[in-house]
Chains A and B, each alone.
Chain A
Amino acid sequence: MPMVLLECDKDIPERQKHIYLKAPDEDTRDFLPIANAATIPGTLSERGCAFCGAKLVIGGVLKDTIQMIHGPLGCAYDTWHTKRYPTDNGHFNMKYVWSTDMKESHVVFGGEKRLEKSMHEAFDEMPDIKRMIVYTTCPTALIGDDIKAVAKQVMKDRPDVDVFTVECPGFSGVSQSKGHHVLNIGWINEKVDTLQKEITSDYTINFIGDFNIQGDSQLLQTYWDKLGIQVIAHFTGNGTYDDLRCMHQAQLNVVNCARSSGYIANELKKRYGIPRLDIDSWGFNYMAEGIRKICAFFGIEERGEALIAEEEAKWKPKLDWYKERLQGTKMAIWTGGPRLWHWTKSVEDDLGVQVVAMSSKFGHEEDFEKVIARGREGTYYIDDGNELEFFEIIELVKPDVIFTGPRVGELIKKLHIPYVNGHAYHNGPYMGFEGFVNLARDMYNAVYNPLRHLAAVDIRDKSQTTPIITRGAA
């Protein structure tokens, strides 16, 4: 099957290179969507910017760190109240955001003094907080403010604080993905191996690429605790700044989100010889396999089997209840990138759900290699899908439920299609055994929502009656 040119894309035919419909006996070497390429202006893409990839996705998750955004106030406002990553210290990370509130005069005369003063003010106002990440934004990058020099000066003036700088203005790269990269590489270059922590177990890992969405990291932490594995650093769910400085101490890097955080795992392997193990933390089958691999690495297989047995005994019956009722459900996944390949097969194996269309905002070609290898035939694989394409794809595949963001969720509601928040979840966590039951439950409650059936009724139509909607009877 060739790449697909949708009807709505006839005026932007280059989009054909980004949309693939998988057919039998094909593989990624023949048809791989172009990904991580610049968006066509005016297409109503779903993409964000590099700055948000660094701040909102990775850095801003940390529970003990001031996020100082050097630029106009909007970049701070916009990357606040848009995530669900709680922490075990009262959600400091979600409550606050900091901006240098850059003004026109700084565009003319430079904003370094403003930044320096704002940094001191932030530490003064919150004297218990000693860690900070400073981000450039589009205008401060354009005028060439030297934020590294300012950070150095502030650290000199305040010996008890540590500051990390991230220079990735919104216009760099083609999506948030660029920001992931800049933060990963900057961190390993500047902060890893600047602190040692106490080792309390013979088995140590970094858990990389999980951002504690609705408590994912905290749920998985209960597994590591039961296995006796010390997590040196969570990159970055429920994590701390100083833990991340100790990443070099781990024996194994366990990577969930390879897109946002594969870079630091690669560098840790290259520089410190720490092997990289990629796992899928969503799904029973995958989670069990991940635990088995980690335990095999450490030679503690029996602990792993005990944990899996315990968890499966507890959660498998619930999963199966949902599986029986979700069998054959047609699902679309329109999220960032990795969840396409994490989920396409796990929902099929664990829940009997068919994924019929997938769109990635910021995935790279590597992500499409993974998802096409795992995904079904007859399914659409879309890079950087835009609004008109979504409408057309919906018509083509008629999904029963779409896992996507809240804004697109509001859009498809009008088409009587329920959505589940594929980024921040409806009622998570979704990782691990318990988490996947949560995902199944949310999908079930969405698919069986009576309102979509009621919405289809036209009360003027005398040939119709409004049905009594029963659920669970399916």
Chain B
Amino acid sequence: MSNCGCTTEQKPAEVSVSGRDRDGIINPMYDCQPAGAQYAGIGIKDCIPLVHGGQGCTMFVRLLFAQHFKENFDVASTSLHEDSAVFGGAGRVEEGVLVLARRYPELRVIPIITTCSTEVIGDDIEGTIRIIKKALKAEFPEREIYLAPVHTPSFKGSHVTGYDECVKSVFQTIATKKTKPTGKLNVFPGWVNPGDVVLLKDYFKAMGVDATIFMDTENFDSPMLPSKAIETQGNTTVEDIADSANAIGSLALARYEGASTAKYLNESFEVPDYLVNTPYGIKNTDDMLRKISEVTGKEIPESLVRERGIALDALADLAHMFFANKKVAIFGHPDLVLGLAQFCMEIELEPCLLLIGDDQGRKYKKDPRIEELKNTAHFDMEIIHNADLWELEKRINAGLKLDLIMGHSKGRYVAIEANIPMVRVGFPTFDRAGLYRKPTIGYKGAMELAETIANTLFAHMEYTRNKEWILNTW
């Protein structure tokens, strides 16, 4: 509680942006592109992604999803082996697709996701798809199974770029012509949790906006039913995707996760695309709602004014008493980290270290949110792109004082070892229960996140006997 924010030295706050200066990675922040592509694929109904590569590229990613959501997701592998490395693996793609089509009669979409190995081998995925389509037509004349080529070599980008790539490829495969206007709004929320999707749906319902969320992952939180039915799969249908070309517009909520698809729909079908800041915190949510209102002509309803007010009311109890002058490090997806940093500024937390991004540093450096943080930060801030978690750990080892760490579970030991309170947010959050159900975006998400931060700090005060008596009366 003794941090002081006064700037007696009158040194202007400095915001630096730099990349990791090591070649190697110690503790990666992200998985590779194919992992992100698989995540996009499982958001589609009646879809099983087929990963063209070694079996580990699928098995571990399925495990990762299971860790985060406590659910099983179906992803198939072409089980690449030595012979394919020598003679090419196209045959295994063909066999994989046919086996899937035969054994899963409901199947309608198969994204074919390449990996580092099959990109190095140079398998011709597009050519193979043309061949398989003929075979499918012959064997299943009544069925249409969409095969989307997804090029996601692991030696480029990260699971963030892989997600973006797969969404785009699926839309390019299925959304191929403009037909009848639907009056609907396409929404690309990015890599968010079911809790966020539910929140967005509530907002659109409250505004009377007919919106389609890509990908609709609400059922990634699925029930145990008396019927024993398994409902764990994406809700986004082939029809939803096909109809995206007929929407009134596309709203992208994450610059690096799905926005390129909104752009594609604009370029190909003149569906206007709108990119807003990822709606972490009050202002970002305001801006999103205003944009929705502007695009659809619908008014922002009283209910959201109230929800906003309740959130502000809750945040006001916390900000200047408990959060002010607290130093925070945040790591994870760039859209998440930058959005959370903006939110931190609203509640008087000081995000002094932001770890974002993969090798796409040029892109991130130009992000307007970084410009905004540069202009508004009243404290020193370090932004590291192409970061790994060692960047965080080594700064702490060297004496960086942090009051809070925010990020996903892969960073848990940094916090545990340094005894710094940590709030799990982002992907994956396997070491805390049920987080996938809790929204982090919107007013409600801001409120719940801030309250989680507060309760985490409170528990830490108690465990460390650090003025825990303050809470004797609050």
Contact = CB atoms under 8 A, between A and B. Distances in A.
Contact of B92 (A11, A41, A411): A41
B27 A80 contact: yes
A190 interface: no
B224 A416 contact: yes
Indicate the member of B27, B84, B97, B116 with the most A CB atoms within 10 Å. B116
Interface in A72-99: 72-82, 91, 94-99
Nearest to B231: A414
Contacts of A11: 99, 102-103
Indicate the member of B74, B81, B93 with the most A CB atoms within 10 Å. B81
B55 A49 contact: yes
Given A101-B24, A410-B66, A170 B96 contact: no
Contacts of B31: 73-74, 77-78
A142 B117 CA distance: 7
A138 B116 contact: yes
Interface string B316-332: 00000000000000000
B225 interface: yes
Nearest to A113: B23
Contact of B62 (A12, A102, A173, A407): A407
A72 B93 CA distance: 22
A78 B36 CA distance: 13
B305 interface: no
A99 B22 CA distance: 11
Nearest to A43: B99
Give the bracket for the number of chain A residues in contact with chain B.
35 or more
Indicate the member of B61, B117, B159, B409 with the most A CB atoms within 10 Å. B117
Contacts of B140: none
B63 A405 contact: yes
Contacts of A405: 63
Contacts of B82: 171-172
B67 A406 contact: yes
B103 A408 contact: no
B154 A171 contact: no
B410 A80 contact: yes
Given A71-B116, A104-B153, A44 B76 contact: yes
Interface string B66-96: 1100111011111111101100000011011
B143 to A, nearest CB: 14
Contacts of A103: 155-156, 359
B62 A174 contact: no
Indicate the member of A12, A41, A143, A173 with the most B CB atoms within 10 Å. A41
Given A48-B56, A74-B31, A455-B226, A42 B76 contact: yes
B232 interface: yes
Contact of A77 (B28, B65, B78, B224): B28
A279 B359 CA distance: 49
A172 to B, nearest CB: 6
Contacts of B70: 410
Contacts of B232: 414
A75 B32 CA distance: 8
A384 B394 CA distance: 43
A187 to B, nearest CB: 21
Contact of A414 (B34, B75, B79, B225): B225
A170 B59 contact: no
Interface in A93-136: 94-104, 106-107, 114, 117-119, 121-122, 125
Contacts of B359: 101, 103
Contacts of B147: none
Given A170-B53, A170-B117, A73 B79 contact: no
Interface in B150-175: 153-156, 158-159
B99 A410 contact: no
B230 interface: yes
Nearest to A416: B228
B83 to A, nearest CB: 9
A216 interface: no
Contacts of A71: 116, 154-155
A75 B58 CA distance: 11
Given A52-B56, A138-B115, A405-B63, 20 more contacts: A11-B103, A12-B102, A41-B93, A41-B96, A44-B76, A47-B59, A48-B60, A49-B56, A74-B32, A74-B116, A94-B413, A96-B27, A100-B23, A107-B120, A118-B22, A121-B24, A125-B26, A139-B117, A142-B121, A416-B228
19 contacts: A11-B99, A38-B81, A43-B76, A48-B59, A49-B55, A71-B116, A72-B32, A74-B31, A77-B30, A82-B67, A95-B413, A101-B24, A104-B155, A125-B26, A139-B116, A139-B120, A142-B120, A171-B54, A414-B230
